Chain A
Amino acid sequence: MLPDGFPAGLRVFLVGEDSIVLRMLEKMLLQFAYKVTITDCPLQALELLRANIDNYDIVLIDVNLTCIDGFQLLEIVSREINLPVIVLSADSDFENVMKGIKYGAVDYLVKPVRLEELKLIWKHVVKKSLNEKKSINESRSMDDNISNLTKKSKDLVRKRDEDDDIALKDNLASQKRARVSWTPELHAKFINAVNQLGIDKAVPIKILDIMDIPGLTRENVASHLQKYRKGLQKHTIELNQQIFDNAKTRRDSESFPAMNIKECNANLYRNKSMPSSYPVGQQSYDGHALIPQTWLSPHMRYQNNFCQQSMTGLPENPFETQQLGWTTESYMMNMSTQFSGHQSINQNLNQLDCQAQSYENSRTSNGHNELNPIPQLESTIEYDAIDMSLNNDLNDNNNFDELATLLALEQKQPQNSFDSGAQISKDSVDVQSYSLEDHGGSNASNLAILSEFDNMDDTDELYVALCQIIKCHAHGDSRTQSPAHLKARKADSQSRRSSQSTEQIRPVVGLVICEDLRKPNASSCVEKFDFACERC
């Protein structure tokens, strides 16, 4: 199956903007007797790949691009092109590596790329072809096991697997054929059709009929359905279940704090505890809020009681309000870090369908929503995923930005999706919204968030929280939030990332050593490093 002399003759497609890197990589690859195609225009790269997918075995993308977002390109390529894609980057930040993997890269190489690492990229080609072989075999053996099931499920499963199997075989056979590009509109129609039929009863033929797109084959739909189902299974269903469970428990309560006390374990801040009289100055800024586990008790005088106070609308005393502000800030920090994790995990779904794209599009086109209302969770989840990327906001001043930010982000979202989201949280208490300016004693929608945190995963909490917020926004609460605020906070939050500090220390040390050695420059240059030292 592999050509003679493999891996010599490996056909590599290289995309990037840095001529140095491109030239060096080209030379290295040529030294290994690989065949190289280089393009320094990322937009052109996509066209070239689409047109000549047969001519390449593996794709290398440098994500440090200026004309478009490198990770976006990565996502599109890995989605459309059935080749292993490797990310090339100048940094090894955790978020970026996660992003790369989530968007479908099979590997992440940091510049400068070592010769040995580059040589071994052929392993991904072999791995991919082995995996594809395995999944054909698996679907075949699944057919064999069907006889153990009851008749009804047997029929159902068999039909579904046949479709998938056929689709898979077709896919492999037609690997060289151009793939269907699942655009947001197309995917929206697909989702629509699936919902009409019901997820369990959705079969490619019927979906195809409902979608009514000329040129779309049953095989395309079948393979897309398979991917969609897999994605759903992983994330959506358990989430759905938990949300409904929580929603049920909330139905009877009137006042938020009282209602939530029994349920919540404040998992958002698990493993953290803080005495109730925790002074403001001792709050930590390392991204974790310190609150007691039982902070949601009704009779509490804890600092995190901002929600309760907000409900009553009266801060008990100014000092306490200040403390609340402080706490919430650290709460927001934690929220933010959780959000980013949340977001990256969400990308799994984004990878599978174009919801993310569609939301981006609909946001930029002034809320014009081309999508049909989509099932609750998919919409909220994807929406959350995209928008959480903007939501890593922290503030220097004691403003309760987080929720305001979230709400502001919602504002950009088309109303339709919120309405569809309403179905989930219809049993939950209507949450009052939060305003940016009024951090002292305003109404708290954060209660909604907090209320959902019992026995849920970190990521799920946020999903639910967002659902709640979305819900309350859909009920007509209006927020005002300027984009400038958002940007400023975004920039600010990025600055809070603790990962930068270690990077700073190393270069400072290195520089000082070098300066000592280079005597003529020593005195003048050492002082220049004081800024870095300040930060360290």
Chain B
Amino acid sequence: MLGMGAGRWEEDMSRLLALLFHQGVLDEHFMQLQQLQDESSPNFVSEVISIYFRESEKLLRNIRTLLLDRECTDYKKIGVYLNHLMGSSSSIGANLVRNVCVAFRAASEHCNWAGCLRSLAVLEHEYCYLKNKLHELFQVYYIQTICMHSS
């Protein structure tokens, strides 16, 4: 399997990427991120993505804590967190997550608590989807690398 699978895994990865692009989950900035990886930093992409996951989860937790309090008044803070999340997501090319953040930010600026809760649900959903897909992508990528090295 290892010896002859390299091509197949590559195909899988391309197909997965194409799907994600098609769905709008990722955009061209993801490609730009990949291009930044070179010999001097061979694990750049995976490092950045790991940081992204860590930071985003922290942000999402913070936002959730703020919103769960029914007497939520600090919409400004939520906006700040959202800006942060928007910035990171757009930088790595997580287009869909960024768009949900934009809608969420609008709801927070209207101090619309129910709207914010709904946006948060959507945001967490989309974030999980992105995370799963990226994990899948990396798995395929690593297997492909192993295949290439072993062949």
Contact = CB atoms under 8 A, between A and B. Distances in A.
Given A511-B99, A528-B122, A23 B51 contact: yes
Given A495-B111, A507-B102, A20 B48 contact: yes
Given A90-B87, A503-B106, A517-B22, A112 B29 contact: yes
- Most A CB atoms within 10 A — which of B51, B102, B111? B102
B125 to A, nearest CB: 7
Contacts of B25: 514
A500 B29 CA distance: 25
Contacts of A504: 102-103, 106
A81 to B, nearest CB: 24
A62 B122 CA distance: 27
Nearest to A88: B87
Contacts of B41: 27
A24 B36 contact: yes
A514 B119 CA distance: 16
A162 interface: no
B38 to A, nearest CB: 8
A281 interface: no
A478 interface: no
Interface string B35-60: 01010010010011001100100000
Given A23-B51, A492-B111, A521-B125, A510 B96 contact: yes
A24 B31 CA distance: 13
A111 B90 contact: yes
A172 B132 CA distance: 56
A529 B118 CA distance: 8
Interface size range of chain B in the complex: 35 or more
A492 B90 CA distance: 28
B106 A18 contact: no
B120 to A, nearest CB: 10
A255 interface: no
Given A90-B83, A91-B83, A495-B109, A115 B32 contact: yes
B110 A21 contact: no
Given A27-B44, A507-B99, A18 B84 contact: yes
A500 B109 contact: yes
A66 interface: yes
A20 B29 contact: no
A480 interface: no
Interface string A496-519: 010011011011101101100110
A525 interface: yes
A492 B110 CA distance: 7
Contacts, number: 125
A319 interface: no
Contacts of B24: 510, 513-514
A21 B96 contact: no
Contacts of B93: 112
Indicate the member of A18, A113, A528 with the most B CB atoms within 10 Å.
A18
Contacts of A517: 22-23
Given A112-B93, A513-B24, A20 B55 contact: yes
Contacts of B129: 518, 521
B109 A64 contact: no
A518 B122 contact: no
Interface string A301-317: 00000000000000000
Nearest to B116: A531
A112 B23 CA distance: 19
A501 B109 CA distance: 11
Given A115-B32, A510-B99, A518 B23 contact: yes
B86 A90 contact: yes
Interface in B77-94: 80, 83-84, 86-88, 90-93
Contacts of A529: 122
A20 B92 contact: yes
A501 B107 CA distance: 10
A28 interface: yes
Interface in B107-147: 107, 109-112, 114-115, 118-119, 121-122, 125, 129
Contact of B36 (A27, A112, A494, A525): A27
Interface in A454-507: 491-492, 494-495, 497, 500-501, 503-504, 506-507
A45 to B, nearest CB: 17
Most chain A beta-carbon neighbours within 10 Å: one of B84, B115, B118: B84
A507 B103 contact: yes
A31 interface: yes
A507 B89 CA distance: 14
B52 A28 contact: no
Contact of B99 (A23, A66, A89, A506): A506
B33 A24 contact: yes
Q: Of residues B88, B95, B106, which shows the largest number of chain A Cβ atoms within 10 Å of its Cβ?
A: B106
A405 B80 CA distance: 26
Contacts of A506: 99, 102
Contacts of B38: 31
Contacts of B107: 531-532
Contacts of B114: 531
Among A21, A90, A111, A511, the most chain B Cβ lie within 10 Å of the Cβ of: A90
B84 A532 contact: no
Nearest to B77: A66
A531 B104 CA distance: 10
Contacts of A64: 80, 83-84, 87
Given A64-B80, A491-B75, A511-B100, 13 more contacts: A24-B91, A31-B36, A89-B87, A90-B83, A495-B110, A500-B106, A503-B106, A504-B103, A510-B95, A529-B122, A531-B107, A532-B103, A532-B115
26 contacts: A20-B51, A21-B87, A24-B36, A24-B92, A31-B36, A66-B84, A90-B83, A90-B86, A90-B90, A113-B91, A491-B76, A494-B109, A500-B106, A501-B106, A503-B103, A504-B102, A508-B103, A511-B103, A513-B24, A517-B23, A521-B125, A521-B129, A525-B122, A531-B119, A532-B115, A535-B106
Interface of A: 17-21, 23-24, 27-28, 31, 62, 64, 66, 89-91, 111-113, 115, 491-492, 494-495, 497, 500-501, 503-504, 506-508, 510-511, 513-514, 517-518, 521, 525, 528-529, 531-532, 535
